[in-house]
Structure 1
Amino acid sequence: MESVVVAGIDCGTNSIRLKVARVDGHGMHEVVPRVLRVIRLGQDVDKTHRFADEALERARAAVAEFAGILAGHRVDGIRFVATSATRDAENREEFESMVEELLGVRPEVIPGTEEADLSFLGATSVVERDLAAPYVVVDLGGGSTEMVLGGDGVDAPATQVQAAFSMDVGSVRMTERHLLSDPPADAEIEAAVRDVDAHIDEAFAHVPAGRARTIIGVSGTVTTMTALAMGLKEYDHRLVDGVRVPLRDAYAVNDRFLRMTREERRTYRTIHPGRIDVVGGGAVVWSRVLARISEAAREDHGTPIDSFVASEHGLLDGIVLDFGRRLLAGR
């Protein structure tokens, strides 16, 4: 069977990820397991609209590391995708030129709609058959959060995007904009909730999320909070991937870690050190998105959604799978 080996890089507001996989007619087969580095590229971008010098240096170190990894593998192509922070940065040319110098490819700064489509492709490429359609996939990043609704499996395939919207809310953006105290003050939390809800209102004008029967959550914030809800002492992606979490458990753990000090969070080895200071901002977004979708489902078909499914597969998987399929189609 014909196949290609491709590398995908997802550079977000908080983290950068690399995955190398062989893509064929049956899907993806890992060559290099996912590599993640927290670089906080979006540091202060919400306020200054520029990449900070130290953030660019952290990005350079990670990209140089990825170049070293890729030097040991023969790949048919590399796709480097940059998202929310890079869309907002006035000095993104400096970042793009640095990546091209180190990797030989220029970052593609994709719009939120394409980011949403690729996240949905990655998340639904491995869904269990017993999940009720339509699915709504939520990719909660550092600077933006994508909400994507698929088909009902009857009139349209469950893995086909029906509607999508990218909201300018995320773990880093909400932390830097609102959660300035340690721990956050009630007034700061209330302001963050109002901000998130306003963006969800806008998303719901484009995405009929109430039609959903299953919520699939992807990204580091979602999987971290899932691991904490499960009581894991250390993060283990094998245990987190595909687990179903009751919403009441998600709300409880989100609120608890939102109201902790950073030093208290630091005692939990489940949380990546690079997420310690922004996980509260992510928790606000995640709780509000879950609550609003559940309520919209109750209003739409009489039954609220009472759980979500966590997935380790999202934008990065979508980048690799889509790129590999396009290379195969061009042969």
Structure 2
Amino acid sequence: MDHVTVAGIDCGTNSIRLKIARVGHDGIEDIVPRTLRVVRLGEGVDRTREFAADALERTYAATREFAGILASHPVDALRFVATSATRDARNRSDFEDTVESILGVRPEVISGTEEADLSFLAATSMTRRADLEPPFIVIDLGGGSTELVLGGDGESASATKVQAAYSMDIGSVRMTERHFHHDPPTQGEIDAAVEDIDAHVTEAFRTVPAGQARTIIGVSGTVTTMTALAMGLDRYDHSAVDGVRMDFARAFDVDDRFLHMTRAERRTYPTIHPGRIDVVGGGALVWNRVLARIGDAALADHGQRIDSYVASEHGLLDGLVLDLGRRLLAHI
């Protein structure tokens, strides 16, 4: 057999996503492209360390919808992974039991390191640009956590091989719930969030030598949404955003502008998914600070500041499907 059909479900803090694809020795082909539902599973988890009943019901409804899609598209294997919010929730066994009753597979609560590895796999193997200079650092900015993953230099170590990774407990939902209590946030709230973010980045840099990077690749809904806004798109366009290179100055200006907007003002931009309206400012602030800190680290490490990043549509979900398909093929 030269290909397998597999499905992956990525259940994060803010959204749950399904992808069904045919994976072969020569690549991957979508059967059901990414289907996304914003369920805010992690609502309140940073404070209570438990899933809220309403958040669970929203997630179960999306899971039942995905079960219907899967019934129409038989697969050789399905893997359901859960990330930051589920790692933090004390009542996660109830969630796992119910999902298993709906889908027949039990959610795997993966570590931040595995999440980082899968995001790096997708971003480096599926982002189509000829000018990506290694070493690559991939930033996966989620609702509850943000992963930094550094690859090799392409000489002493393969550019697509993970050299170091770290998962930080900062993300769009977590920062918004923890710090932003006014609409728009006050300067004091923003300053407190920056201090929180910077402390996590400093800790991450003890594990990930970010200054070695020459190319930054950003994945996740926050990154691609803010990139689309910086591009001036009236509607979100996956194909236009994927692989685009964006300079820091333009990105920082747009990120800061949307951080200081009210939610009502953000709703006037169709480019932003309705489920991100209230948290995209927090995500933009995380994105700003992580980019700036990596740029500074690169300047200190090799005397050359990085001043742009590449946006990728290919993150954890794509890496999950690609990895699952490859592992099945290896055993056929």
* TM score, norm. by length of structure 1: 0.99
Is 1:7 aligned to 2:25, yes or no? Answer: no
2:294 paired residue number: 293
Helix, strand or coil for the counterpart of 1:169?
coil
Q: Which amino acid aligns with 2:97?
A: S
Bigger mean CA offset, 320-329 vs 169-178: 320-329
Q: Distance in 2 between matches of 1:29 and 1:121?
A: 16
Q: What letter is aligned with 1:303?
A: Q
Report the alpha carbon displacement of residue 74 of structure 1 after superposing the two structures with TM.
1.5
User: Which residue in the other structure is 1:204 paired with?
Assistant: 205
Q: CA deviation at 1:129?
A: 2.9
Mapped to 1, the partners of 2:130 and 2:240 lie a distance apart of 19
Q: CA RMSD in A?
A: 0.7
User: Per the alignment, in what secondary structure is the counterpart of residue 71 of structure 1?
Assistant: helix
Rounded Cα–Cα distance in structure 1 between residues aligned with 2:142 and 2:102? 25
Matches of 2:152 and 2:28 in 1, distance apart? Answer: 23
Asked if residue 219 in structure 1 is aligned to residue 220 in structure 2, the reply is yes
Hey, which bits of structure 1, 4+ residues long, moved more than 4 A? Answer: none
Give CA-to-partner distance per residue, 1:84-113, whole Å, 9 cap, x none: 000000010111111101100000000000
- 1:41 aligns to what? 41
In structure 1, the residue matched to 2:282 is: 281
Distance 1:40 1:18 in 2: 16
What secondary structure, in the 3-state scheme, does the structure 2 residue paired with 1:232 have?
coil
* SS at 2:126 equivalent: coil
SS in 1 for 2:150: strand
Q: Give the letter for the 2:108 counterpart.
A: E
Q: Distance in 2 between matches of 1:233 and 1:247?
A: 21
Shift of 1:329: 1.4
2:271 matches 1:270: yes
2:327 corresponding residue in structure 1: 326
Q: What corresponds to 1:133 in structure 2?
A: 134
Letter in 1 for 2:116: A
Alpha-carbon separation, structure 2, partners of 1:63 and 1:12: 13
User: How far is 1:267 from its partner?
Assistant: 0.5
Q: How do 1:229-244 residues align onto structure 2 when only pairs under 5 Å count? A: 229-244=230-245
The one-letter code matched in structure 2 to 1:134 is P
Moved more, 13-22 or 124-133: 124-133
- Does the residue aligned with 2:19 lie in a helix, a strand or coil? strand
Letter in 1 for 2:159: A
Specify the alignment match of 2:148 in structure 1: 147
**Matches for 1:44-63 after TM superposition, within 5 Å:** 44-63=44-63
**AA in 1 matched with 2:30:** E
**1:248-303 CA distances to partner (integer Å, 9 max, x unpaired)?**
01100110000000000011000000000000110110000000000100001111
Give the CA deviation at 1:165: 0.2
Could you tell me how far apart the structure 1 residues matched to 2:40 and 2:27 are?
31
User: Which residue in the other structure is 1:252 paired with?
Assistant: 253
Inter-partner Cα distance in structure 2 for 1:264 and 1:129:
38
**C-alpha displacement at 1:45, in angstroms?**
0.1
Report Cα offsets for 1:284-327 as digits up to 9, x if no partner: 10000000000100001111001000000010011001111111
| Distance across 2 between alignment mates of 1:234 and 1:147 | 29
- CA distance, structure 2, for counterparts of residue 203 and residue 79 of structure 1: 28
Paired residue secondary structure (1:180): coil
* Residue number in structure 2 paired with 1:77: 77
Paired residue type of 1:232: L
The 5-angstrom pairing of residues 179-194 of structure 1 reads 179-194=180-195
Instruction: Tell me the alpha carbon deviations over residues 37-67 of structure 1, each in whole angstroms, 9 at most, x when there is no partner.
Output: 0000000000000000000010011000000
Distance 2:235 2:130 in 1: 29
Are positions 1:162 and 2:163 aligned together?
Answer: yes
Separation in 1, partners of 2:231, 2:49: 37
Match for 1:102: what amino acid? I
- Normalised by the length of structure 2, the TM-score is 0.99
Question: When the two structures are aligned, how many residues end up with a matched partner?
Answer: 331
- Segments of structure 2 that go 5 or more residues without pairing to the other structure are none
Task: Give the aligned residue type for 2:19.
Answer: K
In 2: Cα distance, 1:191 partner to 1:283 partner: 15
For 2:218, the aligned partner's letter is: G
* 1:156 alignment partner, SS class: coil
Partner letter of residue 204 of structure 2?
A
Percent identity reads: 71
Distance in 1 between residues matched to 2:126 and 2:285, nearest whole Å: 27
Instruction: State the partner residue of 1:107.
Output: 107
Aligned to 1:228, the other structure's residue is in SS state: helix
Q: Cα deviations across residues 151-181 of structure 1 (Å, max 9, x unaligned)?
A: 0000111110000000000000000000111
Structure 1 alignment gaps of length 5 or more: none
